């Protein structure tokens, strides 16, 4: 069962969809006027792995800072 990339000509949404034997439909608007795109394979190499790890570290650091801010706000505004 292949996964294809589609774009809906009705609403412009792009999405991936697992296609079986039935006609695929847009999950956003339900339209069936879809354009199928070529799916690009995921390429893993030393450089792409390094880029992905740096992006994940940056994302995790930002999320950690948000958690600290939320905890400080909670502690400042709640008397327990």
What digits encode the pLDDT tens for the residues 35-51? 988 766 667 788 888 88
The tens digit of pLDDT for each residue in 11-32 reads: 999 988 888 778 888 989 989 9
Whether residue 1 is predicted with pLDDT greater than 50 in this model: the reply is no
Q: Sketch the domain layout of the chain as residue ranges.
A: 3-37, 42-80
Q: Which of helix, strand or coil describes residue 14?
A: strand
Q: Is 77 left (phi over 0), alpha (psi -120 to 50) or beta?
A: alpha
Beta carbons within 10 angstroms of residue 4's beta carbon: 15
Q: What is the pTM of this model?
A: 0.45
Q: Which residue is it, tokens 């909670």?
A: 74
The pair of structure tokens assigned to 16 is: 């991936």
Q: Which residue is it, tokens 């990339």?
A: 5
Task: Say what the pLDDT of residue 2 is.
Answer: 67
């Amino acid at each position: 069962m292949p996964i294809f990339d589609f774009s809906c000509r009705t609403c412009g949404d792009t999405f991936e969809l697992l296609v079986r034997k039935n006609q695929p439909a847009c999950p956003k608007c339900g339209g069936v006027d879809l354009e199928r795109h070529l799916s690009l394979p995921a390429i893993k190499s030393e450089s792409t792995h390094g880029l992905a790890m740096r992006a994940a570290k940056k994302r995790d650091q930002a999320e950690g800072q948000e958690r600290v801010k939320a905890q400080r706000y909670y502690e400042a505004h709640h008397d327990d």
